Structure 1
Amino acid sequence: MRKVLAERLVSLPLVVLAMSAVIFGITYLVPGDAAESVAGVQADAAQVARLRQEMGLDAPLPSQYLSWLLDAVRGDLGRSLIDGAPVAGTIADRLPVTLSLTVAGAVVACLLGVPAGVMAGLRPRTLWDRAATTGASIGVAFPAFWLGLILVAIFSLRLGWLPATGYVPIDVDPAGWLGSIILPAVALGLTPAAALARQMRNSMAEVMGSDYVRTAHAKGMPRAQIVQRHALRNAAGPVVTQLGFWVAIMLGTSLIVEQVFSLPGIGGAMSNAIMQHDVPLLVGLALALVVIVVLVNLVVDLFLSALNPKTRQA
């Protein structure tokens, strides 16, 4: 486990460095730049050129990237080209919203998907198994933004149970935070829940049909004990791997769900940065997401190492 942790921590700066170069380069493939956004549509070419020079956008791309990278190494992610706000401050303000939504979505996915998959895997080819499999197939087909609109229409506009938009920080009002995050979390977590249910069902059915489980049955071990001590632990590995994959997907999907529920997360800031060609802000926000994805993969690897002794020895 220590070796896995050391390898991931060593590779983290390299991944961030590579992704920063990729993101920095991709932003310049989009037509236009921040100078045109700031100058406005009525500015002439001379005004745009002067503003571009003041912003440092007239320098070659490698020079701009090297200048940004040297500042980033010192902990300075720069300032927005549009409003001059520190990029690090914007990340600090908006990242907790995106993280809380992603974590809440992952909790919803686990609470819905894992028990359904376990019950279906323990009763293969039964009515419950068919119902869970059908429900999982339907759940995978639901886009998160579409489901969010349906949830708002039912639980906010028609029933009035939950707010349709807005966000309350958890440190200000935990109850208000829960009310503002339930619908977005369900919209975000339903598709992963369906995928986890299907994976858990297959893993549990395979484990329950293995030789060591049949041997335990033959020795008279109670079924509940077999499931708790052996089956769940061995079936959890593929599910944990898929959960890590879906957390990364949910982190990206949350940017869209935030727009549906008007949550002040990274999604809105990144959308504005793309439209306004705000390179420092866009690179900073994207790198924050990259770091989170790498850390999630690290947690998944450590958890798998804890579940599987053979992985720890390897």
Structure 2
Amino acid sequence: MSVISHAEYFLDETSLCLGEISDDAISVIFSQLADVLLSARSEGSDVHCLETIWELMATDNRSLSDILFLPGIDRDVRNRLSGMLQKCQNWAATDDVIGQKSEDQRHDQATSRAFQESATRMLSGTPSAVLSTILRAYSDATEAWEPHQDASLGIFVISNNQHFKLFWRQVPSALRASITSVEQVARRAFPTLIFVDRVWNGVKDFDGDESTMRDTLIVHLSALDDHFLEIYTSTNDPNRIAAEMGSRAGVDCSKESNKTRRNSKAMSTRVRSVNDENVTFEWHTKFDRYKNRVHFAIYESRLHVGIFCRHLDI
């Protein structure tokens, strides 16, 4: 089994072609890009850019280096972005990427190179994405690209910090990895969730095609990460919580029935130790009506995932 330990990110230089916009707008764009670069490096992942990035003509008559040091650019933003760019790993520019060509052609080829490099990593089994400024518009943060006629592979484009978790949620299926790979991406893909010790041993108990179980598990954990706490803190009505989870996330979610709660033996199978305290994991999502469950609980205001199983006793 391959281990998913880090990603490789490639900066799309064309997203730094700013056009004629105000210094304030440039500062906002640079600030967000600096945040994205910092988040990528904070993962322990590698970030790459062309070694000629400082010479990139970001406007009709100014290079990126010139613009960074304009008086109207926020000094903190300038220092953060230049510092992050200096920490990027450079790939060498060639005549095929930047040569004696018009700026538009150079920009197109820079994009092609970033996308090609990212696609090559994905095809070799390494998670990879393209980093972009918010100036570059991509539908739903993704750009479909088909390297080597492999129509199944899309390149993920990250232009704000919320995109990172969306990217990591796609990695297991994009790499056609086993269901156990979800554990390897869980910290990045579902940042608000806490997973109880040994909970991941339970994924082997899911009943169904492994790739379907993997993708369904990601959908359910994403729903819990994105929605459950917000809904839970707004109402203590289990029926309303279940309805909201269904409407917002399309996930079947419920608390144990009164019948099950009256069965002490059955309820004991839902107890796990968290910080040396016994916690009952009676909330659960359902892959389908009769089997495959994700049991969770709210403990100390955090959502803890405690059990993956086919079905517990009722």
TM range (shorter): under 0.3
User: Scaled by the length of structure 1, what TM-score is found?
Assistant: 0.23
Point out the structure with the larger helix share. 1
Task: Tell me: higher relative CO, structure 1 or 2? Use CA pairs within 8 A at least 6 residues apart.
Answer: 1
